[in-house]
Amino acid sequence: MSDKKKKKLPPQAQEYQSFQQDREVKRPIFKNCIKAFLVGGTICLIGQCITTFYIYFFDFTEQTAGNPTVATLIFITMLLTGFGVYDHIGQFAGAGTAVPVTGFGNAVISSAIEHRTEGFILGVGGSMLKLAGPVIVYGVFSAFIVALIKTILIQWGGL
């Protein structure tokens, strides 16, 4: 809780806040980072294997093979999410499973499955992107700003 919010609270609540902060379990940052590194690295290694597979057996170059790799990984995520395995890996690995595209896929697929009881149009269709929406929205917006600045610099700045 920030200091500004703290000042507004009555003294007893402030006391409680500091009491609670002392007893809060410290997050084992170093251990979590090791786990995230190992699991995240393994997912990327699997991705690299798939990329190599697409380069050798289909007509993809190293630049374009990223796209089918991402699609394949999201397909694997669908199976893992559906059978309930992904949650267990996610519990263990934290950001190791959230940061690769599999985390993005899991966010979309798990909310699609979760909301199917509300019907396919409003439930699945409406809630699917609830968690992944911000990523798309701000990804697109920031990409727009970056590309706009770069285009203006190239066209009028003679970069």
Cβ neighbours, 10 Å, residue 93: 21
Q: Does 120 bind other proteins (CB under 8 A)?
A: yes
Residue 13 or residue 152: which is nearer to other proteins going by CB?
Answer: 152
Query: Which one of 16, 62, 88, 122 is in contact with other proteins (CB under 8 A)?
Result: 62
Through-space distance between the first and last CA atoms of the chain, rounded to whole angstroms: 46
Backbone angles phi, psi at 24, to 5 degrees: -65, 135
Cα angle, residue 135 at apex, residues 131 and 138 outer, rounded to 5°: 135
Q: Residue 124 interacts with other proteins (CB under 8 A)?
A: yes
Of the candidate residues 13, 45, 85, 122, the single one contacting other proteins (CB under 8 A):
45
Q: Rounded to the nearest 10 degrees, how much is the dihedral formed by the CA atoms of 20, 131, 133, 74?
A: 130
Closer to other proteins by Cβ: residue 13 or 71:
71
| Cα dist from 98 to 38, 119, 153, whole Å | 13, 27, 35
Q: Give the closest residue to 107 by CA, choosing from 122, 83, 90.
A: 90
Contacting other proteins (CB under 8 A), which of 37, 58, 88, 122? 37
Question: Of the candidates 9, 13, 71, 122, which one interacts with other proteins according to CB under 8 A?
Answer: 71
In this complex, which beta carbon is closest to other proteins, that of residue 14 or of residue 132? 132
Total residues interacting with other proteins, rule: CB under 8 A: 80
String marking each residue 82-101 x if it binds other proteins according to CB under 8 A? xxx---------xxx-xxxx
According to the binding rule CB under 8 A, does residue 66 interact with other proteins?
A: yes
Query: Distance between CA 47 and CA 65 in Å, rounded?
Result: 10
